């Protein structure tokens, strides 16, 4: 009984845990007796003290009412964190700083060279005055020469190719100078601009066709990146199909897994011939034309090249083609596969490589040159 009384006193003094412990191990009769013995001598404490806990309950409720006031900050916290994470898309700003702004399309210049004038004319698509003053003759065949990375209209590839054509044939030579879009040292920018220049060349050819030029007498010759410019141009011509595209060691970096029509392909012209001289390195190794030539196995180091790098071998493609415009003749033999051509194990039908190549016998060919 003393234990029950002590326990009940603890409960009266605001210790409900003590009372709970008592009720857990004492019989209900003992608890009632304890309460009766405790509060009977002091009847005034019965009425006031029983409501007292009830009055304290509402005093404890305000904190409970404030709890929802504390919840909004908790609910806002997840909203605040994402806001701090959203600025993290600063990754685009962390991109390499080597990509300058693309120059305007006016940076592409179309020079016209003929036997009739020592000075070149310049064509501006849509400008009728430039067409009539350029010296372009719609009755002549047209050779379109397109340079690659880091080159321009005054570099050896463009000058010697133009001179070789004008010396051997009475033709229009269109030299496409896109040097502001292909300047060193930013190869990724030049590669991206191939997609810009190709359609512009196509627009030029469509414009010339509108003035009476025959696409059946148009031959595009492109070196490295210029080979893909030629291919994209051929794929985008709307007024017909160009007669021929010659790809001279078409660039491999940035084009290995590119889907058509964003690179040179056999479908870009009636006849597409390709010369590989740094296959698998600077140039594409896979056969991508109707006729693919692998002179000297198609890899560096090409004959006459003594440097340790691939540049000389890469340029060998246009030099072989340039020499074939004149009197030089290169005979190639047919191969069963690209692997056979790159190993020199070919004994097939002989054909001519270079300017005088034809699409009569498409396939893969191996040649030996100086």
CA dist., res. 342 & res. 168, Å (int): 32
Can you read off the two tokens belonging to residue 294? 């692998």
pLDDT reading at 99 higher than 90: no
- Closest C-alpha to 165, from 144, 147, 190: 144
Per-residue pLDDT tens digits for 54-66: 444 444 444 455 4
Which position among 223, 276, 290, 314 bears the catalytic label? 314
Which position among 177, 249, 273, 323 bears the catalytic label? 249
249 classed as catalytic: yes
Q: What is the mean pLDDT of residues 13-28?
A: 40
Helix orientation angle between 156-168 and 311-325, rounded to the nearest 10 degrees: 10
Q: What is the pLDDT of residue 13?
A: 42
223 classed as catalytic: no
Q: What is the mean pLDDT of residues 19-46?
A: 39
CA distances (Å), origin 156, targets 62, 103, 161, 322:
90, 24, 8, 11
Can you read off the two tokens belonging to residue 5? 């009384």
CA dist., res. 51 & res. 66, Å (int): 24
**What end-to-end distance do the CA atoms of the chain give, in Å?**
122
- Closest C-alpha to 169, from 325, 323, 322, 324: 325
pLDDT reading at 40 higher than 70: no
- Closest C-alpha to 142, from 72, 90, 215: 215
CA dist., res. 229 & res. 242, Å (int): 14
Per-residue pLDDT tens digits for 331-343: 999 999 999 999 9
* Model pTM score: 0.73
CA dist., res. 303 & res. 258, Å (int): 31
Q: Please confirm whether the linkage preceding 261 is cis (ω < 30° from 0).
A: yes
- Closest C-alpha to 338, from 285, 260, 302: 285
Domain boundaries, the chain: 2-57, 106-367
Q: How many residues does the chain have?
A: 370
243 and 219 Cβ atoms separated by less than 8 Å? yes
Q: What is the mean pLDDT of residues 258-280?
A: 97
Q: How far is CA 67 from the centre of its chain?
A: 54
Q: What is the pLDDT of residue 52?
A: 45
Give DSSP secondary structure letters for 306-318.
-SSSSHHHHHHHH
Which position among 8, 224, 313, 324 bears the catalytic label? 224
**Architecture in CATH of 106-367:** 3-Layer(aba) Sandwich (3.40)
224 classed as catalytic: yes
Between 343 and 51, the more confident residue is 343
Which residue, chain included where needed, has tokens 């491999």? 252
């Amino acid at each position: 009984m003393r234990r029950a009384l002590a326990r009940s006193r603890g409960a009266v003094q605001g210790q409900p845990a003590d009372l709970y412990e008592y009720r857990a191990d004492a019989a209900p009769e003992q608890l009632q007796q304890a309460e009766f013995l405790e509060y009977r001598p002091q009847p005034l404490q019965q009425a006031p003290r029983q409501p007292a806990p009830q009055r304290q309950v509402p005093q404890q409720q305000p904190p409970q009412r404030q709890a929802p006031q504390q919840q909004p900050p908790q609910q806002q916290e997840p909203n605040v964190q994402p806001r701090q994470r959203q600025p993290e898309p600063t990754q685009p700003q962390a991109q390499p700083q080597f990509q300058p702004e693309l120059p305007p399309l006016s940076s592409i210049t179309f020079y016209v060279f003929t036997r009739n004038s020592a000075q070149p004319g310049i064509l501006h698509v849509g400008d009728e005055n430039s067409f009539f003053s350029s010296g372009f003759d719609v009755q002549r065949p047209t050779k379109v020469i397109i340079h690659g990375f880091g080159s321009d209209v005054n570099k050896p590839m463009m000058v010697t190719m133009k001179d070789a054509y004008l010396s051997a044939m009475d033709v229009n030579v269109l030299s496409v100078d896109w040097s502001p879009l292909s300047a060193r040292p930013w190869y990724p920018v030049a590669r991206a601009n191939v997609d810009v220049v190709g359609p512009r060349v196509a627009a030029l050819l469509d414009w010339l066709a509108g003035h009476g030029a025959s696409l059946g007498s148009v031959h595009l010759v492109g070196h490295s990146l210029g080979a893909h410019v030629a291919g994209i141009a051929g794929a985008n011509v709307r007024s017909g199909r160009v007669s021929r595209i010659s790809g001279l060691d078409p660039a491999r970096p940035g084009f290995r897994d590119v889907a058509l029509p964003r690179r040179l392909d056999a479908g870009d012209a009636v006849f597409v011939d390709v010369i590989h001289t740094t296959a698998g390195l600077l140039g594409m190794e896979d056969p991508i034309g109707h006729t693919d030539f692998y002179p000297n196995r198609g890899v560096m180091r090409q004959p006459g090249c003594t440097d340790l790098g691939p540049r000389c071998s890469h340029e060998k493609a246009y030099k072989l083609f340039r020499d074939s415009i004149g009197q030089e003749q290169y005979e190639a033999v047919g191969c069963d596969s690209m692997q056979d051509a790159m190993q020199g194990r070919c004994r097939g039908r002989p054909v001519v490589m270079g300017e005088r190549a034809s699409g009569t016998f498409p396939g893969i060919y191996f040649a030996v040159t100086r």
